[in-house]
Amino acid sequence: MNRLHPALRRILPQLITLVVVLGCNVLVFPDFFKIEMANGRLYGSIIDILNRGAPVALLAIGMTLVIATKGIDLSVGAVMAICGAVAAAAVAGGSDVATAVVLALCAGIVCGLWNGFLVAVLNIQPIVATLILMVAGRGVAQLITEGVILTFTNEGLIFLGSGSLMALPMPFLIWLGFGVLTAILVRKTALGLLIEAVGINLRASTLSGVRGNVLIVAVYAISGLCAATAGIIVAADIKGADANNAGLWLELDAILAVVIGGTSLLGGRFTLAGSLIGAMIIQSINTGILLSGFPPEFNLIIKAFIILVILIIQSPIVQSVLFALRMPPDRSGDDAEPNRDDRADERDHSMQKEGMAP
């Protein structure tokens, strides 16, 4: 296990969880891994998971960065609705697909900048700051669609939601590409390190000459961009912008994907790959429940139960027990154990800090 690349070792628990969830899916649906080729594209449950998981995966990318700065973005579902509406309205108004997409992405970035402004400049707590847009955003989307489901027939835009390239569905390629680009952006530059530093100790980072507030605004902008992309895909998929239902509750799935992925809500160290796997775990559960043929009224209960089990397995107490069982007390322990102690300490401190904040 110690021979694994550190980055891979970090997301090993998430990978194991994904394999277990997929294994369960095979139990309830034997044809689960069957993949067929038809009309020049692949079909099958796995492909379906990669395709349907696109919105949550995209949201999870932005959410990971936001959470790494000790923030949270509740508005992403509403931003999806806004941006889907913008794209739909643009093509309905006669724009070409490129213009529509650019307009929608810009709308997402503006939404993100607004959130970042509230959090970084006005110092509003992230959960409250983004709640504002979460509530108002659907209203904005409804204004854009004028209260109806704004349908469109633009082939180019529809292609983004249901087309395929190299036999793979577009939504999958989009989130994968977005994930890889973001990973390169944060890990090949110093952005990732600076985001983590800001998330762990904003004061110390700022005193070290890091532009903490600019970074915070930037991660919310990225989150808005991710939400815009997800919104375009969802609108393109149903060939219309539904201001009321597009992206509804998806912010919670995205947060869950980040948490399952192994990034702490306390900020700091983050893993994009973990969050993407987390998104796929959630989608696998959704797809698995549908395929299993359980009565649909059980779906949410089963989903909640599976997620509870995953989170219990990942909880510090269970992890330290597993750790003690697995590792004789020698050098190979690395940093895993102390890190966990540290987290506990951090929690105590943050309790105190909140009290002391002016």
Where do contacts with another protein occur on this chain (CB under 8 A)?
188-191, 193-194, 196-197, 200-201, 203-211, 268-269, 329-331, 333-335, 337-339, 342, 345-346, 349, 351-352, 355-356
Q: Shortest distance, CB of residue 197 to another protein, whole angstroms?
A: 5
In a 10 Å sphere around its CB, with 0-12 CB exposed, 13-18 middle and 19+ buried, how is residue 170 labelled? buried
For 283, residues 6+ apart whose C-beta sits below 8 A from its C-beta are: 49, 52, 53, 56, 57
Cα-based distances in Å from 143 to 138, 154, 193, 241: 9, 21, 40, 12
DSSP class per residue in 285-339: HHHHHHHHT--GGGHHHHHHHHHHHHHHHHSHHHHHHHHHHH--SSGGGTTHHHH
Question: Which residue, 102 or 204, is less far from another protein as judged by CB?
Answer: 204
Question: Which residue, 34 or 347, is less far from another protein as judged by CB?
Answer: 347
Question: Which residue, 117 or 159, is less far from another protein as judged by CB?
Answer: 117
For 333, residues 6+ apart whose C-beta sits below 8 A from its C-beta are: 323, 327
Element (H, E) at 262: none
Q: Shortest distance, CB of residue 344 to another protein, whole angstroms?
A: 10
Rounded distance between C-alpha atoms, residue 314 and residue 135, angstroms = 32
Rounded distance between C-alpha atoms, residue 108 and residue 118, angstroms = 16
Rounded to 10 degrees, the C-alpha dihedral 98/103/106/110 comes to: -170
Q: Shortest distance, CB of residue 351 to another protein, whole angstroms?
A: 8
Question: Which residue, 125 or 208, is less far from another protein as judged by CB?
Answer: 208
Question: Which residue, 3 or 331, is less far from another protein as judged by CB?
Answer: 331
Q: Shortest distance, CB of residue 172 to another protein, whole angstroms?
A: 29
Question: Which residue, 67 or 282, is less far from another protein as judged by CB?
Answer: 67
Q: Shortest distance, CB of residue 224 to another protein, whole angstroms?
A: 19
> 250, 249, 232, 230: which is closest to 241 by C-alpha?
232
Cα-based distances in Å from 311 to 234, 258, 268, 348: 28, 12, 19, 21
Q: Shortest distance, CB of residue 248 to another protein, whole angstroms?
A: 35
Question: Which residue, 147 or 333, is less far from another protein as judged by CB?
Answer: 333
Q: Shortest distance, CB of residue 67 to another protein, whole angstroms?
A: 14
Q: Shortest distance, CB of residue 4 to another protein, whole angstroms?
A: 16
For 26, residues 6+ apart whose C-beta sits below 8 A from its C-beta are: 32, 33
Question: Which residue, 151 or 314, is less far from another protein as judged by CB?
Answer: 314
